[in-house]
Copies of this chain bind each other. A is one copy, B any other.
């Protein structure tokens, strides 16, 4: 059976070299990095080697600015809550956008229940943040500006350097959620003026079980997981050495191969969108057109008159793995936060499908996906009373400009 994996945003397979690098760290070198003996010191050396790899890839001034967490979500929680707790005596106001990942949005919402306040800057219909809106939201109480680099749902690439400049002017700590960007987009924490920046290695062919938070030496941060003195007191708990070793190598490889991977992805991305938009009527692209303002792996579409989960299940039956921002699929109304933020019609949000390409997808796979997906859409429309009503002229399309 044909298998096409187009859900690289949700996770990627671990690279063979990365896997090889991890293996000795399970049963052969198993020391706790806090321990003062050969096994422990070896683990600590591995930790520091990985720090170096991450540090170089994101142009961090020094490896000590790299902190390890268990996942991107925890890194985001640490950045947001850690800043809030460290700086609460200075102020209690946070600025973010309406299109953040739930790990940022829900961390801020948690802080609001604890007495912090937040301003959520709107994004436009393609998901872009206007840096001037951030500037306008700043108050003397503002202690943190938190935004993402590339949007996890619709691939919009934000003007982070401009936002960083504003943060610098106002001497406000700036956090960039790069969990969907690292490995795919160039990252220079110094040029971005990022005080904090998060990564998630399992999104670029590294293992699950590790997240990274870059913390500029000047950034103020409190720990959110308390206990031992690991990670320079910023994150307690025994470090997951195999995942940290694998993550560092995956980062290094991703950075070395980034341009090659990306230029190929861009061709596949164009081809996929061209195929879908030609073969399927009443389909719209969410987020910017493929190009420099869009993440090269992401294609987010809405097919009108049908719902997302059915599409997902039929895709799966056809061997195609995709995702959806539809609340029915995720059982979580908040998962389609971005779609709400860009003002997408609710029925289009229901029919949402997210394709995320990877480095190993082929042209043949794209052809297969386009033709299969066209059949799936057709099949579900045959079942849909809305499609019927539309055909009879009882309702009309809500896609702006009514494409095709």
Are A106 and B226 CB-contacts (below 8 A) given A207-B26, A243-B240, A321-B31?
Answer: yes
Give residues 310-343 of A contacting B (CB, 8 Å): 312-313, 315-316, 319-324, 329-332, 335
Integer count of this chain's copies in the complex? 2
Is A70 part of the contact surface with B, judged by Cβ < 8 Å? yes
Q: A144 to nearest B CB, angstroms?
A: 15
Pick from A5-13, A119-127, A260-268 the stretch touching chain B.
A5-13
Is A275 part of the contact surface with B, judged by Cβ < 8 Å? no
Q: A88 to nearest B CB, angstroms?
A: 11
In the complex, the answer to whether A227 meets B107 with C-beta atoms within 8 Å is: yes
Docked complex Cα distance between A73 and B74 (Å): 14
Docked complex Cα distance between A302 and B202 (Å): 44
Docked complex Cα distance between A331 and B229 (Å): 8
Give residues 95-128 of A contacting B (CB, 8 Å): 101-103, 106-107, 109-110, 114
Q: What residues make up the interface of A, taking CB atoms closer than 8 Å to B?
A: 5, 7, 10-16, 19, 22, 26-28, 30-32, 34-40, 69-74, 76-77, 101-103, 106-107, 109-110, 114, 200, 202, 207-211, 224-229, 236-243, 309, 312-313, 315-316, 319-324, 329-332, 335
Closest 8 CB pairs of A and B: A70-B70, A103-B227, A73-B237, A209-B240, A106-B226, A10-B32, A37-B321, A209-B209
